[in-house]
Amino acid sequence: MNVCISVGHSHPRVVAAAMAQAQELTHCTTMFYHPAPAHLAEELAATMPKGHDWVVHFTNSGSEAIDLAMTMARTYSGNLDLLALRTAYHGPTAAAQSITGIAGWRHPGMPGNVAFVPEPNQYRGIFGPGTQPYLDEIDRTIATATTGKVAGIVVESIQGYGGVIEMPPGYMAGAAERVRAAGGLYIADEVQSGFGRTGDHFWAFEADGVVPDIVVMAKGLGNGFPIGAVVARKEVAAPMADKFLFHTYGANPTSCAAGRAVLAVIEDEGLQANAKRVGAALLERLLDLQTRHPSIGDVRGRGLMLGIELVKDRDSKTPDREKTAAVFESCRAQGLILSKSGPSQSCLRMVPPMCLSLEDVEAVATGFETAFRATS
Ligand SMILES: Cc1ncc(COP(=O)(O)O)c(C=O)c1O
């Protein structure tokens, strides 16, 4: 279950496209024109909300794309302070760590000028369920923990390593409104939630009708080939043109050829619709599992981005890290690969290839049943 593998391990069309490109010209930087990144940029821009001009810059990874988005927001707005969400994960580079809200991923030496707002976790968030209290906190944070002017806010449309935390209705749009009123931009991190994985939409931010100023993507775009991208509104990216910025392997033609094939496969094989259908079936099985196993405190997610949170008891909601690790290991022994996520590593996160079938769902449900029985 690997979020990088959007269309299936070693998908023949993706492998063939990358091989053909590698045999012709493996490497070429953005300093020179090459059709593969140019076409991929056009294809990605076409997936963005209509009515705006979008520009695309390719990077080597998701965290480099996050770094660029942060620099872009600070350059465009002229403000330094950025808002990020607690329990967010945005990558390992120093800048990406500075907006990551999980202690286990933060190391000494990160840059500052970041203020964190509470994640609107509907299961265990500090204000309980709902949207408004979390939006009010954005205003309070801007008023107290920044200069009053911000560069932007970075939001994973569904938090991944945070433990599959969905943004409740109105949160993304409300956050964008508040941050824009303070001079900043709305940056959507779609590294995990994008490319149709959530089923209803190609980009998870679309669920809220918000139009981001910058969208960051990686992982599933390459189906295992290294690639990241920043897609920004043209006027937002324009001030960056005053200086040089390039990544040696950004816009690498081999990775871009793979990326183009990924987009084509998602379309041709109807993988967004498949994520919706198969994800709904898996969610149903997980909810059924919850009725029989009291250690499952919460089941959540959308499409093929799902999680179950394990607790010591449902009233206290105390995270059960040990049980989570035991279920994880039992599943792994059966060939079912999950991720231990969340600040307490008490959420089993499922982000399988979007070609998962209904038969696979049965195997996953059986694997879980065996694991929960073996560990109870
Ligand atoms: C939501 C999110 N943003 C950014 C990143 C960083 O991407 P990369 O590991 O390609 O640098 C990740 C990686 O897991 C991620 O999950």
Measured CA distances, 99 to 84, 145, 250, 367 (Å):
6, 14, 23, 36
83 torsion bin: left (phi>0), alpha (psi -120 to 50), beta (else): beta
Q: Which residue's CA is minimally distant from atom 10 of ligand 1?
A: 62
Mean pLDDT computed over 183-207: 98
Ligand 1: atom nearest CA of 190 is: 1
> pLDDT for 150-175, tens place per residue?
999 999 999 999 999 999 999 999 99
> pLDDT for 318-346, tens place per residue?
999 999 999 999 999 999 999 999 999 99
Question: What helix, strand, coil percent values describe the chain, rounded to 5?
Answer: 40, 15, 40
Mean pLDDT computed over 231-252: 94
Question: Rounded to the nearest whole angstrom, what is the distance from the C-alpha of residue 175 to the centroid of ligand 1?
Answer: 22
Ligand 1: atom nearest CA of 93 is: 11
Ligand 1: atom nearest CA of 218 is: 10
Mean pLDDT computed over 41-59: 97
Q: Please, which residues have CB within 8 angstroms of residue 31's CB and are 6 or more apart in sequence? A: 246
Q: Which residue's CA is minimally distant from atom 3 of ligand 1?
A: 90
The pLDDT confidence band at residue 144, using thresholds 50, 70 and 90, is very high
> pLDDT for 110-122, tens place per residue?
999 999 999 999 9
**Which pLDDT score is estimated for 1?**
62
* Beta-carbon-side half-sphere exposure of residue 264 (alpha carbons within 13 Å): 15
| Residue 90, ligand 1, Cβ within 6 A | yes
Q: 3-class DSSP state for residue 190?
A: coil
* Pure H helices in 29-61: 35-45
Q: Which residue's CA is minimally distant from atom 7 of ligand 1?
A: 62
Ligand 1: atom nearest CA of 63 is: 11
Question: Rounded to the nearest whole angstrom, what is the distance from the C-alpha of residue 313 to the centroid of ligand 1?
Answer: 32
**Other CB atoms within 10 Å distance of the CB of residue 318:** 13
Mean pLDDT computed over 48-67: 97
**Which pLDDT score is estimated for 142?**
98
pLDDT surpassing 90 at residue 313: yes
| Nearest residue to 82 (alpha-carbon basis) of 95, 65, 63, 64 | 95
**Which pLDDT score is estimated for 30?**
81
Question: Rounded to the nearest whole angstrom, what is the distance from the C-alpha of residue 197 to the centroid of ligand 1?
Answer: 16
| Residue 293, ligand 1, Cβ within 6 A | no
Query: Which of 192, 193, 198, 247 gets mutated to test ligand 1 (max ligand atoms within 8 A of its CB)?
Result: 192
Q: 3-class DSSP state for residue 349?
A: strand
> pLDDT for 74-122, tens place per residue?
999 999 999 999 999 999 999 999 999 999 999 999 999 999 999 999 9
- For residue 215, the surrounding DSSP H or E stretch is strand 214-217
The pLDDT confidence band at residue 376, using thresholds 50, 70 and 90, is confident
Mean confidence (pLDDT) of the chain: 97
SS3 of 98-160: the string is HCCCCHHHCCCCCCCCEEEECCCCCCCCCCCCCCHHHHHHHHHHHHHHCCCCCCEEEEECEEC
Look up residue 195 and give its DSSP letter.
T
| Residue 156, ligand 1, Cβ within 6 A | yes
Residue 35 CA to residue 6 CA, distance in Å, equals 23
Question: Rounded to the nearest whole angstrom, what is the distance from the C-alpha of residue 218 to the centroid of ligand 1?
Answer: 7
Question: Rounded to the nearest whole angstrom, what is the distance from the C-alpha of residue 217 to the centroid of ligand 1?
Answer: 8
The DSSP bridge pattern shows strands 185-189 and 152-156 to be parallel
Ligand 1: atom nearest CA of 91 is: 6
